[in-house]
Structure 1
Amino acid sequence: MEIRHLRYFAVLAEELNFTRAAERLHMSQPPLSMQIAQLERELGVKLFVRGNRRVALTEAGQAFLSDVRTVLARVKDATARVRAVDAGQAGRVEVGLSGSHFLGPVPHLIAHYTRTHPQVSILLNEMNPASQIDALRERRIDVSISRTAVDDQDLCSIPIWPDPLVAALPARHRLASRRRLALAELAEEPFVMLRLDTSAFAGRLYELCLRAGVRPRVVQTVAEIPAQLALVGAGLGVALVPVSTVAHFAGSVAACRLPAAVSGGGVHAVTRRNARQRVVEAFVQAAARWQAQPAAPDPAAMGPAPAAPAPEPACRPR
């Protein structure tokens, strides 16, 4: 028994006329009669009573029709579902990210993607960046949203939006009203820094300071950027942070632009090179096209955010 036999039967059961049923099925009447007869022989029952001018369902045919409609509906749903999966429009994406990303565009991206892709489940896993990379390699997550690009034999990165660094100062700091600062101007300031064991991003911030001739006088180290900003807002020191994270602390933290050589930075989607999940590729490409820009706490001081980068092709095995 084939699916086409069930379709032929369902159409004939609706039309109760071989000529009209054959027209609907885009076939001639004799092959349709042969296919129905073959189905009846396979089932060992008569499905139709054939008269000179009319066709009627037998009692067995009426019972069979109910089940056939259920089967055909499930086949239709399964066909739509498998096509959606193949197009990246259905499935599940496990995303790893740190808490600071909830202060930027990520919540809006996830909300928008969930609305426009109702068959895709986006599951967020909050963890520190180093744990995300381990989870990627161990296939516990599909994507890491990271401030550091990773490019090796197993993993690759696609930039998804810019997120330049700014100097975060207590709102009442003597330099808080400045539109722009050179990093060297913070040389004597106490710093609230990320712990170096939390991520490569933390190491990059420390190296930026050293390159600018500033050896940070570290008064506190924390694991997450929101903790940095909370301490800065309380007046414990200054910090270098992505601009997307500062808006939520606008009442207590001032943000000053840094020179381009220092401030350049962005957010990346890190994935496995050998992954072949269309739903993951589609999500990453949608994130790269996302137009929400990191919000600055003081637009006049910060100036316009850089334009979002164009989507790049998914990374491939080396």
Structure 2
Amino acid sequence: MELRQLRYFAVLAEELNFTRAAARLHISQPPLSLQIAQLERELGVRLFDRNNRRVALTEAGEAFLNDVRLTLGRLSDATLRVRDVDQGAAGRIEIGLSGSHFLGPVPTLIARYTKRYPQVSVLLNEMNPAAQLEALRGHRLDVSISRTKVDDDVLQSMPLWPDPVVVALPRDHALTDRKRLALQDLMDEAFVVLRQETSGFARALGQACAQAGVALKIVQTVAEVPAQVALVEAGLGVALIPRSACRYVGERIAVRPLSVKVGDGMVYAVTHRQNSRRALDSFLRAALEIGQEQGQSPAGD
């Protein structure tokens, strides 16, 4: 049984006229008659009662028509779906990110992307940065939203949007009377820091402080930026955090820009070089749109 025969049968069942059915199918009448006869022989039943004046479905033909319509409908749906997958409009994306990214443009990106591509399943995985890179290398994630650029034989990075490092201070801190701070101004401060063993961003901040001659006096080490903000608010110390993390703190803490850029101040999409998911391509295009709205380069304040 061929798919062509099912299509021929469905059209003839609708037209109940070989001449009209052949015209719809853009074939001549003899091939249509031949294919219907072959289909009936294969099934071992008559699908049509026909004579010189009329063509009518048999009871078996009516039952077969219902199943054929379901089959052709499913095939049509499958055809559309596979084309959507090929064009990046359907499929599945596994995204790894730290919790602090929810304070930046990521929620807007996800909402816009899922509205534009409702047939793509977007799964968000909150993981520490080191675990994200391991999952990327093992093809368990499709993309990592990261503040650390990674380019090697396996992974590659694409800049998305600026998110410069700023200083978070308790509201009553003496340094809040300054509009901008240098790392050297923090020489004697107690720091709340991220764990360097799981975060390339944290290691980069530590290296920047060391290069500036600032030996960090660490009072607390935490896993996520929101925890840093909470401890700064409680007065335990100061912290170097991404500017996006200050979005919802309001008057709870004081935030001051740095006089010199620390790191490159960018957020990246890190992907596996051999990831061929088309949905990932459409996601990255949407992320770049958000990045263009946020600005092409990190702002100073």
Matched, 1:251 2:251: yes
SS at structure 1 position matched to 2:197: coil
TM-score normalised per structure 1:
0.88
CA distance in 2, matches of 1:306, 1:99: 22
Q: Which moved more, 1:12-21 or 1:32-41?
A: 32-41
After TM superposition, the structure 1 stretch with the greater mean CA deviation from structure 2, 63-72 or 84-93, is 84-93
Contact 2:204 2:263 in 1 (8 A): no
Gaps spanning 5+ residues in structure 2: where? none
Instruction: Give, in whole Å, the separation in 1 of the partners of 2:44 and 2:207.
Output: 81
Give 1:245 shift.
0.7
Q: How does 1:91-240 map to 2 (within 5 A)?
A: 91-240=91-240
What TM-score does the superposition give when structure 2 sets the normalisation length?
Answer: 0.92
Residues 212-249 of structure 1, C-alpha deviation per residue, up to 9 Å, x if partnerless?
Answer: 23222222221111111111111222111111111122
Q: Whole-Å Cα distance in 1 between the matches of residues 27 and 254 of structure 2?
A: 75
Structure 1 residue 283 displacement after superposition: 1.8
Moved more, 265-274 or 209-218: 209-218
SS at match of 2:198: coil
1:169-211 deviations in Å (ceiling 9; x for gaps)? 1222233253322222222222211122121111100111122
Distance in 2 between residues matched to 1:181 and 1:263, nearest whole Å: 16
CA distance 1:145–1:83, change in 2 (3 Å): same
Residue-by-residue CA offset, 1:112-170 (whole Å, 9 max, x unaligned): 22222111111111111111111222222222111101111111111122111111112
Identity %: 62
Distance 1:259 1:211 in 2: 15
Q: Secondary structure, in 3 states, of the residue corresponding to 2:296? A: coil
2:79 matched to which residue of 1?
Answer: 79
User: In structure 1, what is the Cα distance between the partners aligned to 2:43 and 2:267?
Assistant: 61
Residues 105 and 292 in structure 1, CA contact (< 8 A), matched pair in contact too: no
Q: 1:308 to 1:119 in 2, by over 3 A?
A: farther
Q: Which moved more, 1:166-175 or 1:239-248?
A: 166-175
Larger CA deviation: 185-194 vs 117-126: 185-194
Tell me if structure 2 keeps the 8 A contact 1:234–1:252: no
Report the Cα offset of residue 291 of structure 1.
4.9
Count of equivalent residues: 298
CA distance in 1, matches of 2:160, 2:93: 16
Aligned counterparts of 1:176 and 1:5: Cα–Cα separation in 2: 80
Tell me, in whole angstroms, the C-alpha distance in 1 between the residues paired with 2:80 and 2:202.
46
Structure 1 unaligned regions, length at least 5: 294-304, 310-318
Measured on the aligned residues, the alpha-carbon RMSD in Å equals 1.9
Which residue does the alignment assign to 2:33?
33
Query: Which is worse superposed, 273-282 or 260-269?
Result: 260-269
Shift of 1:3: 1.1
Task: Give the letter for the 1:123 counterpart.
Answer: L
Which moves more between the two structures, 88-97 or 213-222?
A: 213-222
Shift of 1:13: 0.4
**1:144/1:263 CA distance change after superposition, 3 Å:** closer
- Specify which of 283, 295, 298 is matched with residue 306 of structure 1: 295
Q: Measure the CA separation in 1 of the matches of 2:134 and 2:109.
A: 24
